[in-house]
Amino acid sequence: MNIPLYPLRFEPIFQKRIWGGRKLANLTSTPLPDNDPIGEAWILSDRDDHASIVANGRLKGQTISQLMEHWPVPLMGKLAGHFSRFPLLLKFLDAQEMLSVQVHPSDQQTEYIPVGDHGKTEAWVVLEAGNESRIYAGLKPGTTFDNLQQSIINGTVTDHLAYFAPKSGDAVFIPARTVHALGSDIVVFEVQQNSDVTFRLYDWNRIDAKTGKSRALQIDQALACIDFAQGETKPIVPVLEKKTPVQRERIFKCEHFNVWRLQGLLPFTVGEIDIPRILVCLEGNGKIEYDDVVFTIGKGDVFLLPASVGICTFNPCCIVNLLEIAIP
């Protein structure tokens, strides 16, 4: 099919989670399903079991997987052929309760990664936080394999975990091999490697009401993957790159993704030549102008700008808070 690509909007994929809530109803225009706790909205996903579906234009109904297969060069530009699937997974998380204390392997720890999958470095932007919200990230000084293992037996794992009280706007980088958890009334945006490999170290002695049982732990794998040399993790300090016509600050830069936060009211440009970019609207709304066509973007929407689209103009309709994400 010879269909020119254009700014592509995707529908969220909602995931029920034992620790979730209903706050994502305030973030996405798509109604939440049922009355169960919804912990995650996967807003751009190229997983075999959960592939995002295009919601606009001539390619409506196509999955991101089909785009990668049939339009690799227009979609990925000079990155075409580097990835068998789209390399990032984007989510909104509503953690009304604490997530399990967990760790993800790095790409180098292949013995702990299923064939065809990857390690998992991720990052969070805090969108809402309550008075009791906590982010656990990294280990306190003096934590070793032996005393952390003993703390699991004693039920004192949190004595070894570094933590802080997050606030809206905080940007937190979680490299693979970092012990982490978050929760107690917090909503975040998450960008990560396209991986679903998670090892639970501790789950707060929680019982799943539907099964009457505790959730499975993977203690041996988790302990083997932890970087015990890494200290505590705090919110990063953004790098201000420009103030006009939009305030543009880089909040994450690593080998897997770069993320900028753009805030302003005047028109500005987004996208890049021959490289795909992703836009996630956190606050406000506006219009993406491309090839004499206007694409409306509102709070909670995600748009993929294919490499063939290049640079576009973004016209805010009010003060907008936008994330722009690049694949290095």
User: Which amino acids are annotated catalytic?
Assistant: 200
Distance CA 24, CA 22 (A): 6
Q: Do 98 and 181 form a contact (C-beta atoms < 8 A)?
A: yes
Closest CA to 11 of 46, 34, 41, 39: 41
Report the b/e string of 33-43 with b at 16+ CB within 10 A. eeeebbbbbbb
Which residue is listed with tokens 């790159």? 241
Closest CA to 322 of 273, 292, 274, 278: 278
Distance CA 259, CA 132 (A): 28
> How far from 177 is each of 104, 113, 161, 198, 199, CA to CA, in Å?
5, 13, 14, 10, 10
Distance CA 114, CA 311 (A): 37
Which residue is listed with tokens 């789209």? 86
Distance CA 250, CA 286 (A): 21
Closest CA to 176 of 113, 239, 240, 248: 113
CB atoms within 10 A of CB 15: 16
Which pairing describes strands 268-271 and 311-316: parallel, antiparallel, or unpaired? antiparallel
Torsion, Cα of 161, 165, 167, 170 (10° steps): -20
Q: Do 259 and 324 form a contact (C-beta atoms < 8 A)?
A: yes
